[in-house]
A and B are shown apart, each in its own frame.
Chain A
Amino acid sequence: MFRFDADKPVHFCDGYTRRDFLHAGTLGLLGFGLNHFLSLKAEGAVPEDNDLNVIQLFLVGGPSQLDTWDMKPEAPLEIRGPYKPIKTNVPGIEISEIFPRMAQHADKYALVRSLYHTAAGVHDIGHQIMQTGRLFQGGVVSPHFGCVLGYKKGGRGAVPPHVLLPRPIGATGGGLPHGQDAGFLGKTFDPFVLNADPSDPGFKVPDLLPPEHLAAIRTDRRRDWRKLVEKSIQELESVPDARLYDSTFHQAYGLMTSARAREAFELSKEPDKVRDSYGRNRFGQSCLLARRLIEAGVRYVTVNMFETVFDEITWDIHGSRPFSPISCYRDLVGPMFDHAFSSLLDDLGQRGMLQKTLVIATGEFGRTPKVNPAGGRDHWPGCWTAIFAGGGIRGGQVVGASDAIGGFPKDRPVSPPEVAATIYHLMGLELETFLPAQLGRIVPLVDGNASPVRELLA
């Protein structure tokens, strides 16, 4: 009944309405509640609310502020690097020539050029800080922003509240957690992780679809037979975890059978023109997938631009192997981001989703102002640039400024807890609250009583 491999055209030609009605009927017979399913279908499976959604683009490796969005053309050659600034569509704001398309969208985003953190310049640590708002210390593993949102607000319709694309960040040298799960909130609130490459020709969501050899009729039969053998142990329903176990099956079947939810994962539904505009690569297609997921009701999508910094061309331009040279910004990484980010803003704008979707792009730190002997730049958490666009953000502006060499904030320094406060504030969460941590502690939602960066807010 449900063959819907994402890489192939949809197998049924009568649209999904009748099929899903049939399915809703089956589920009803199985005790899953027909009325609920019908009502979900009737409204397109996504309950309406006014909550802001978030797409966080994690620029793994750490982009160099000086070669991207905080150019210092007046600085000496060994500081300013090889690229030239270009004008944007906002007078007075210039960015690197490696982002020609982005330059035409500057009215939509704000650049924070004075972001910094004071912990060690280790990738993993920066990942923690920029996705949870704090460094992991004393056994407290903090939850990702999106997991907190899921914990606070739950899911919408058949889709999970927080999805991570395409895979979690892997090894980046520190061997520490990367801050991409629910931490002390418990695995119940972990993001749903795609674990696949959306740009693969054979792309499909792991475990979202039955394996090839399993005909749809068998999936139905299994469900029926499971119900059959469960008859004798219905008293287990008095155990809360047993009810949760059943409800996870319910959610899984919901995800598998909700046309809206499963179509969100079907990139093949997108016109080639759109797919091309995002870039036919892992990051570009992940950004496109992120837009589809938000459309289907997901609240928070995290996109890792890269999965590691080893043996892969990334933002991590130490200049020598196994890392990347500066030139890769112009040849590969820059254009990849330029296309995907610009298309995402375009696309969200055209669909009227931009004002309801916050888009954030940042790495885990900046890079050393001075070019190193290998012709690259090393880790530098002292100052870098983050991009905020979309819902709740006043675009077309620069917030904060770095010093003459991009080494430290000069005006309006912005700390990671302030970024966290900004995100949580825009999500509509009360900042002065606590989260229940393990080891018998409670942890404030944001550290140090941080306030949102008011200048960013529309």
Chain B
Amino acid sequence: MGMQSCRRQLFSIPAHARGLSLGWSFLSRAVALSLLAGTTAFSQSSAGKTSPTGPKPALQKITVYPSSIVLGSSRASQQLVVEGTYADGYSEDLTAKALMQVESRSTVRIEGDRVLPVASGAGTILASVGALKTSVAVSARDIEQRPEWSFRNHVVPVLTKTGCNMGACHGAAAGKNGFKLTLRGYDPLADYLVLTREAVGRRVTAREPGRSLVLLKPTLLVPHAGGRRFGVDSREYQVISQWIAEGIKPPQDGDRRIEGIRIEPALVKLRPGTRQQLVVTAVFNDGYMEDVTSWVRFESTNAGTASVDDRGLVELKGSGEASITAMFLSKVAVATLVVPFQQQISRDRFEQAPRANYIDKLALAKLEILNLEPSGPCTDGEFIRRAYLDTTGTLPSIDAVKEFLHSGNRDKRQALIERLLASEAYVDYWSYKWADLLLLSDNKATSGNKKLNPAAVRSFYNWIRASVQENKPWDKMVRELLTSTGSSRENGALNFYQIHKDPIRVTENTTVAFMGLRLTCARCHNHPLEKWTQVDYYKMANLFARVRQKAGDTPGEIVVVNAVSGDIDHPRLNKALPPAPLDGEEIALDSPQERRQILANWLTSPQNRSFSRTIVNRVWANFMGRGLADPVDDIRSTNPPSNEPLMNALVEDFVKNGYDLKHLCRVILTSATYQRSWKTTPANVNDDRYFSHYQARRLPAEVILDAVSQVTQVPTDFSGFPKGTRALQLPDTSVDSYFLDAFGRPQRAATCACEREAQPNLRQALHVINGETINQKLSSQDGWIAAALKRNLPNPEVVEALYLASYSRYPTESEHSEAVRSLEAASAGKGPKVRQEALEDFAWAMLTSKEFVFNH
């Protein structure tokens, strides 16, 4: 049943819960971006009809990957992939069918799908599939020199690939069974010392490598709690045993250092059911290159579309787009595999789909690449309801619905959008949203030891509200929040520092809230998968080290000043580091520059793409039900948006328009993409991320409660607030409300979009069926139902009014007649009490129905 199936869903850990945030490699990023920018290449090449069932189109050309091959030692062995491209734009891994030869056997030779060195020199590989031919140059260098495995560049990747140094094993902070490696090998020297100096040298035995514990344990020749990690005949064994035999060389300063990794093919369109081998090449600072495909950790961002094994062989399981991330040492590269949905869709569906602005052009381009049908436009009733709910968190009144439905004005949707953006309810709704983000709450849990005093809650809220009211540009708002000084009584933004008292909290919450970046790992050690080190972390945190606050004259007031001295120490180095934003210029510890200004300049700079991407993604998710990047506050190159060109265009437009949030809302609301029907077609029913249809979703807790209050015309009583205050007008989340808690109101304890729960649960259902919240509103003597009874409103009008108020539409003829018939049957001739009960019950049915509780 529900609970069971849901449990199963959650059991498979979603991609966002599985992987830690990842850094990026400039190499692959550049490649991927340039290719993605040219996505129209796909549509051009598939200009004809997509015909999955017809005869296979002709093979047009073949390409060999990697595109340049350097064999840098006698041990080098390069995996080759021969990729075919068809007339319809699809690619296919044809390596198994290809014939590969070398021109000069004196330098290199082919063995299966690999090329191996023979002697230093240049050569050419010739590949052919049928009549198609291609060639790729290969050079072999230093083949005559004695090869050596490097601890830094070979042994550590082996330990990482085989999982020895992962968090669950010896990479745990406390190690495992007395053997502790650094997490994913971030500190090779420490690992070297642990391997060679501890355990009385038994881990590594120079004279007889095979007796080293580091080989005996993972091969299970002696018992190993971690099980068998590799075999005696494996390449892994070979690397470690040869490294030992070669003299147990430590990592040295002069070791070549990784500069980046390249994954190929980086962007291809493939058919479901096929397989694709990926090739990963590491590029080092001295120009040396190496095939590291076997040593890379691969991960798929969309396992439903593509799964990848630990040798880089991808299986295309279903349609959609998957990014395969490859991680090697500290570097990450991403390959994008596009698997169009295999269905017949007339090109007209794309060509004739309405385009209101650039969003539609780019969203439709994506749909066309993936062969996903766009749903048709939503009805006027659906539009007014969703536009109200998404923009203001309120339902339109009956009058507003009627007027909108009856209006013949061709621009009525645009006019409605403008009215909503200018409304007071817009201010309520977005103030509440930013108060969520800024953790505005008097919960102790959010503010350390001290409660945010009610006056402080109020002043912080007022600042947020005033900012929304004047549509303060987002960069300006964030800058004020981070750089202000003075009294919190005069400037409510300062309460930010009352909630986040120390540099650690400010740093971590600021980066998540405004850059979608989770730095927390780097607080205690180098970020295991991102490029951020603990040094980066404390340089950044030190930018907040000179914020001083003292109690003001009134309760809850603080005064924030910039101190002229004071630093936060790096805990392991036991000293303060020169302050610097991530990847930014550092300043001297004794520099008189205002540190928070430096931080704010860097954060809000147009060059800081994560800043604008994060807010654009949050606003997009508000209207579209899902971020372009998902989760909404996880912005990194290894969690790419589902439509990169669209994300880029939105960001560019947002920055160009001065970080204007209303402009952003307007562009989204105006788009035909937003105005699509929630109803799916057989050709887009499986789409949950490319916006081929509006994504129906349960409304937020506060919105449901306010909507019930609005339809029944019985406001909720929030203790301490004036009668008629709506849930969305509450400054914080400390007001007791069983309903709001049951429906997943966030505590505002952690900066994470995951705090808000939007999932239905049993407690909600029981409360809705039997609880007092809705039942009291239905039976209230001051509500709409009581008034309807008093006015003796006939059933047909009652039904119509309830449909307009709850669903923002007229009932269909059959809905109307069935409802009226049911009400008549239940109450005809039976007195006012019976009729009242019937109306209550009918209203209950509507207010708990999916059409009411779900935005659609």
Chain A residues near B (Cβ < 8 Å): 138-139, 141, 150-151, 154-155, 160-161, 174-177, 185-190, 192-193, 206-211, 213-214, 218-219, 221-222, 225-226, 228-233, 235-236, 238-253, 255-256, 432, 434, 436-442, 444, 448-449
Contact = CB atoms under 8 A, between A and B. Distances in A.
B772 interface: yes
B680 A440 contact: no
A244 B7 contact: no
Given A192-B762, A213-B779, A235-B680, A230 B770 contact: no
Contact of B518 (A211, A218, A243, A440): A440
Q: 7 tightest CB-CB pairs across the interface, nearest first? A: A247-B2, A175-B444, A225-B845, A436-B17, A252-B765, A248-B765, A207-B766
A177 B750 contact: no
Interface residues of B, number: 81
Interface in B675-727: 678-680, 685, 695-698
A240 B769 CA distance: 21
Given A187-B757, A248-B762, A230 B445 contact: no
B427 to A, nearest CB: 29
B18 A155 contact: no
Contacts of B819: 228-229
B249 interface: no
Given A139-B752, A230-B849, A436-B13, A188 B770 contact: no
Interface stretch (B131-139, B154-162, B480-488, B836-844): B836-844
Given A229-B815, A244-B760, A249-B765, A239 B168 contact: no
Contacts of B696: 236, 239, 242
Interface string B766-790: 1101111001000100000000000
A79 B202 CA distance: 50
B845 A228 contact: yes
A232 B765 contact: no
B644 to A, nearest CB: 21
Given A225-B841, A230-B851, A233-B851, A175 B445 contact: yes
B752 A438 contact: yes
Contacts of A441: 17, 20
B770 A211 contact: yes
Contacts of A188: 3, 6-7, 10, 759, 761
B520 A439 contact: yes
Given A233-B850, A250-B1, A187 B759 contact: yes
A373 B845 CA distance: 63
20 contacts: A155-B4, A174-B444, A186-B759, A189-B7, A190-B763, A207-B771, A209-B770, A210-B770, A211-B772, A229-B851, A241-B760, A241-B854, A244-B5, A247-B2, A248-B760, A251-B1, A251-B2, A252-B765, A252-B769, A440-B21
Contacts, number: 212
Contacts of A241: 697-698, 758-760, 854
Contacts of B343: none
B853 A245 contact: yes
A98 to B, nearest CB: 35
Given A245-B765, A440-B16, 19 more contacts: A139-B752, A187-B744, A207-B766, A218-B841, A228-B819, A232-B815, A233-B850, A233-B851, A236-B850, A236-B856, A241-B760, A241-B854, A246-B850, A247-B5, A248-B760, A252-B765, A256-B769, A438-B752, A440-B518
A241 B760 CA distance: 7
The residue among B21, B520, B779 with the most chain A CB atoms within 10 A of its own CB is: B520
B761 A187 contact: yes
B754 interface: yes
Interface of B: 1-7, 9-11, 13-14, 16-21, 168, 172, 174, 176, 443-445, 449, 451, 518, 520, 523, 634, 678-680, 685, 695-698, 744, 749-750, 752, 754, 757-767, 769-772, 775, 779, 812, 815, 818-819, 822, 826, 837-838, 841-842, 844-846, 848-851, 853-854, 856
A252 B768 CA distance: 10
Contact of A436 (B10, B749, B822): B10
Contacts of B767: 207
A37 B466 CA distance: 56
Contact of B762 (A255, A436, A444): A255
Contacts of A211: 770, 772, 775
A260 to B, nearest CB: 16
Contacts of B850: 230, 233, 236, 242, 245-246
Nearest to A227: B845
Nearest to B2: A247
A206 B773 CA distance: 12
A228 B837 contact: no
A140 to B, nearest CB: 9
Contacts of A174: 444
Nearest to B840: A218
